[in-house]
Structure 1
Amino acid sequence: MYTCPALLLALVFAFGLSQTQGYSPSEDARIIEEYKREMGLNHAKIARQLVHRANWAAVGSISTNKIVESYPMVNIVSVDDSDANGNSTGKIRFLLTDLDFTGPDWEKNNKVTLMFSEEQTLHCKDNGKDPMEPTCARSMISGQVQRFDTRDSSYKPALDAYIKRHPAALNWIKAHNFYLCELIIRNIFVLDFYGGPHQVTSSDYYAIQL
């Protein structure tokens, strides 16, 4: 069984051989896949864990601001995926306002991407990993913003769960006309190890039980 240092040594050894025998991408891939199997990496589960543990996410949209119109814009949104008991649902909910960047952006083009990183809980720093290392897991979740209908039966339970996690939201709603939204997930990429990102379907993501 490879430990993480052993894996790195194996990759270094493979690189050394490549200098004399020619580079072997298939051998690199074999070593990486073998280690990932032994680690038992479940990419859908990792995506769900990142979402549930996060209090916020970075969100990317296409800007409608006149100064940087049509450029990518990034922002921070406080998120929650909990039910009334604090359990994970996987449904990514957040508040938006037209006074901020993301509000006007999604109303023109409601395609956005949210990024979640293991470093949001400082887990990588505490374990000596740089946040850019592939082993510091991250997930890029793309989809469309959907505003909640306040008349829908799911609205109040979702809002109550959100406010339970983000009590300051009560003031945001009253003072700045924030409204509750949910991400309708279209694609998920997970990078949790060497070898590139993995695509996760929304059905596999929602099927996970935490």
Structure 2
Amino acid sequence: MRRSYRRPGRFRRQQPYPPEEPRKFGRDNSQLTKKGKILRFLQSPTERSTQTKPRKPVMLPPAHLLVVAVGAALLLAFRPPLPALAARPIVAAAGGKPAPTEAAATARWLAAQNTWGVLSNVVSYSDGVPGESHGIPYFYLTTLDPTARDALEDERTSFTLSEFPLGTCGKIDPENPTCAKLTLTGKLKLIDPQSSEADLAKEALFTKHPEMEGWPKNHHFQIFKLEIKNIFLIDWFGGPKPISPTEYLEYEKNRALLKSS
């Protein structure tokens, strides 16, 4: 038996239903077309999703891309500090570690607060009596130690200090950039024992290291000083801070001038 239905349009068409498929509520939706396409309002959501054409990606103009890139760079530049570093104050308290922006002050603070450093060996030193730091490291060495013997043959040397022994780095790793590190390079000079500088150096060394005064006389300890030529300091992120020897040595004088002005 043949059945018919009315299609949208001007004509009628005889169309048999397949015997194995039941009639769909009086109309076979799959047969209703318009210009070769199934009418979407008669399709189920599943049928519509399988026939949806992929959308073309939205391409921003070059000017818009430039604005987005500049905005992202500004967000990265002015983002707040990481939570792990929030405990490290940027502005130091009175008498404490200087702020990261004060490179010369940090270098002088490290030299004044430490009592030992690395000079191709672990050596004690002093840069002045407590409270009167001059910035120049003095050493009390014997030629029984290779450090002094090498210095008499080749004066070139480097002297490294770290903030970590002072206990102000907290629980961070000693290599963390916020745990300050200072390296002074120059020449290790032997001081004339009869000079006034030798008396100043002895006072500075024996005040900071009282045990030195009783060291054996037959070991022939002598006073050396480091003539600073270059300075390498890291106390924050962003690489080493540029400090000249003059800026380092005259820091106290410059600070006094700033206070008086």
Same fold (TM over 0.5): yes
SS of the equivalent of 1:107 reads: helix
> Residue type of the partner of 1:54?
N
Q: What SS does the aligned partner of 1:41 have?
A: coil
Are residues 1:114 and 2:174 paired? Answer: no
Identity rate, percent = 29
**Aligned mates of 1:28, 1:178 — CA distance in 2:** 58
SS of the residue corresponding to residue 201 of structure 2 reads helix
Query: 1:82 aligned to 2:134?
Result: no
> 1:95 corresponds to which residue?
140
Residue by residue over 1:157-177, the C-alpha shift from the partner in whole angstroms, topping out at 9 and shown as x without a partner, is 221221111111123351411
Letter paired with 1:108 = E
- TM score, norm. by length of structure 1: 0.71
**1:149 match:** 192
More strand by share: 1
Counterparts of 1:1-210 in structure 2 under 5 Å? Answer: 30=77, 41-59=101-119, 74-83=120-129, 86-124=131-169, 127-172=170-215, 174-209=217-252
Task: Kindly state the Cα deviation for residue 138 of structure 1 after the two structures are TM-superposed.
Answer: 0.7
Deviations 1:27-54 (A, max 9, x none): 799559x9xx985521111010000001
Kindly provide the amino acid, as one letter, of the partner of residue 186 in structure 1.
K
Q: Which amino acid aligns with 2:212?
A: A
Instruction: Tell me if structure 2 keeps the 8 A contact 1:86–1:161.
Output: no
Corresponding residue SS for 2:225: strand
What is the CA deviation profile of residues 141-168 of structure 1, one whole-angstrom value per residue up to 9, with x for unaligned ones? 1010111101212211221221111111
**Does the Cα contact within 8 Å between 1:141 and 1:187 map onto a contact in 2?**
yes
Q: Is the 8 A contact 2:185 2:229 kept in 1?
A: yes
- Partner-residue secondary structure (3-state), 2:137: strand
- What is the number of equivalent residue pairs in this alignment? 169
TM-score normalised over the length of structure 2: 0.58
CA distance, structure 1, for counterparts of residue 208 and residue 115 of structure 2: 8
Does the CA contact (< 8 Å) of 2:100 and 2:235 recur in 1?
Answer: no
Amino acid at match of 1:122: G
Rg larger for: 2
8 Å contact from structure 1 (residues 114, 142) kept in 2: yes
Equivalent pair of 1:80/1:93 in contact (CA under 8 Å): yes
Question: Structure 1 residue 179: deviation in Å?
Answer: 0.5
Superposition RMSD in Å? 2.8
**Distance (Å, rounded) in 2 between the aligned partners of 1:31 and 1:205:** 30
Q: Could you list the runs of 5+ residues in structure 1 that have no partner in the other structure?
A: 1-20, 60-73
- Conservation of the 8 A alpha-carbon contact between 2:135 and 2:249: yes
Q: Are the structure 2 counterparts of residues 198 and 40 from structure 1 closer, same or farther at C-alpha, using a change threshold of 3 Å?
A: closer
- CA shift, 1:106, in A, is 1.0
* Greater relative contact order (Cα < 8 A, sep 6+): 1
Cα separation, 2, equivalents of 1:40 and 1:55? 22
Higher helix share: 1
